[in-house]
A and B are shown apart, each in its own frame.
Chain A
């Protein structure tokens, strides 16, 4: 029963994915500039025949609808195409970049949650106190500080001056764990490689703080406001009336019910992190999807951008699906797929 509902909700994502696919396809082709021309760069003595040959090699000379149809067919078969700018299979490129991005996004969101959850609860419980006001001010700071600026400041403080943490990259040479999943932290645990684990965690700290600052601020505010709301609910008073200890009332009764909006926002933020962290990836030399995709746009690498956006859309849809399932766990009254 529940499974069917979830399945149904998952199927509802199909038209969205199709929409994403078509939108990005058309969108890329609306951009001025020619991928072959960009690929050839400054090469001199290029003949028109050479250009035409390349164009037809990448099926760029077909009419648009034919290209779209064949692209959709290939996607259905699981083939995301060939990246002109990186001379490689798009699927392979994405598989390499995705773990890096996901690892960073998860670390960022974990840091964000680690800050936001306690802070959100405390500020709600101590409503209008000094700690409440000052953390609200901090949260505005988090929202209004550009990530690249925060990033470079962190690097200057923690890497250049204090020399505590590395400036950039995912791992020090020689400490890259052997490839299992592509997630360095996970791989080093799986292979029992302790130095590598320490190293990859050290590399994660700064970028995930830079990336997590804004979501932390947003989630803190959301948790605070929904906690304020649930703390006023009858069932919270009732839990106290049953003699339940105050901390248990706050965690078990208020917080759990306050989580729903936080889940929604966290889901959206994760979605945002997966697609919008190009800036942080550049600053921290992080080989992820953001750089891949922005580079793809600049070089009009159609298949690459299309593939990346599809993956992004898929992650987004999945994250939302998980959020949906979480809702029903948090509030059994809700039916999967019905938005709060």
Chain B
């Protein structure tokens, strides 16, 4: 024991270490079981590779993503440019690698914000019910009855172009699904006896929502979240199609597919390679998600 430290602190430290060890052990066990799921492993490998490539993009590729060589426009793949050059003579591979950063961030951040907002509101609405619930449920129905694209276009018009504005536009309706999931989860959990036990013990509502119920409903949120990451990236592509989205200097897979599809007749590689990588990432993320689900929550039947 460090001198001067209270017993309480030392116990706390011991407990903390123990908890860490336990957590590591259980995480290790989970990973081990995940390791037995071949497709999850394959997915994890692909995801890791893509993420690594994105992080190390400047080291891997000899070009800069926004360096134009207008004379090399439409250079086919295989030559100087491994995956070809685009309509402005930029290296497609480099742009895919750099694009990974933004695309993955868009997916991650929008999903994270959506899960957080939807989750918190859903837990509150589900737990307290009553007016709050009625209001929130009505609101979500109004949002659902409101065409998504209209909002996204409008929001981008209102906010102007930019990464964060795009994120907000995508989150606007993204949270609704998580709200519903969380709310349904809470409704199912809150009548369970362990919640009643916590109430009898005198735990506060906040403790019950945060420590008792939340850990039990978070898995479906995460599983659907992994699916939605892909959807968000595709959504970003659709916004690019309509001419709004992220500033053009930052390559995203969505905008690359969109830019390239017009030239698909004479330069198929422009949109095909980013498309393939997008599908690969979404597929892998979902394989990992599915594998995790099987390990963490075999009963969960979300698609």
Contact = CB atoms under 8 A, between A and B. Distances in A.
Contacts of A268: 144
Contact of B278 (A16, A144, A294): A144
A216 to B, nearest CB: 13
B57 to A, nearest CB: 21
Contacts of B2: none
A278 interface: yes
A32 B303 contact: no
Interface stretch (B47-55, B64-72, B86-94, B234-242): B234-242
B241 A222 contact: no
A32 B39 CA distance: 49
Contacts, number: 131
A143 to B, nearest CB: 6
Contact of A148 (B148, B149, B154, B258): B258
Contacts of B138: 15-16, 19
A86 to B, nearest CB: 17
Contacts of B301: 225-226, 228-229
Main secondary structure of the interface of B (DSSP, over half): helix
B227 interface: yes
Given A146-B234, A279-B242, A31 B148 contact: no
A187 to B, nearest CB: 26
B126 interface: no
Contacts of A137: 283
Given A149-B261, A294-B153, A294-B242, A276 B148 contact: yes
A30 B158 contact: yes
Nearest to B238: A279
Nearest to A312: B147
Nearest to B254: A146
A109 interface: no
Nearest to A160: B265
Given A30-B158, A218-B303, A149 B257 contact: yes
B286 A140 contact: yes
Interface string A110-144: 00000000000000000000000100010011011
Contact of A278 (B39, B233, B242): B242
A276 B150 CA distance: 8
- Pick the 7 closest A-B CB pairs, nearest first: A275-B147, A221-B303, A144-B282, A19-B142, A313-B145, A146-B237, A140-B283
Interface of A: 15-17, 19-20, 23-24, 27-28, 30-33, 133, 137, 140-141, 143-149, 152-153, 156, 218, 221-222, 224-226, 228-229, 268, 271-272, 274-276, 278-279, 282, 290, 293-294, 297-298, 305, 309, 312-313, 316-317
17 contacts: A17-B145, A27-B154, A133-B39, A140-B230, A140-B282, A146-B234, A148-B238, A149-B237, A218-B303, A226-B301, A229-B301, A271-B144, A275-B149, A282-B241, A309-B147, A312-B146, A313-B146
Interface of B: 39, 138-139, 141-142, 144-151, 153-154, 157-158, 227, 230-231, 233-234, 237-238, 241-242, 254, 257-258, 261, 264-265, 271, 275, 278-279, 281-283, 286, 301-303
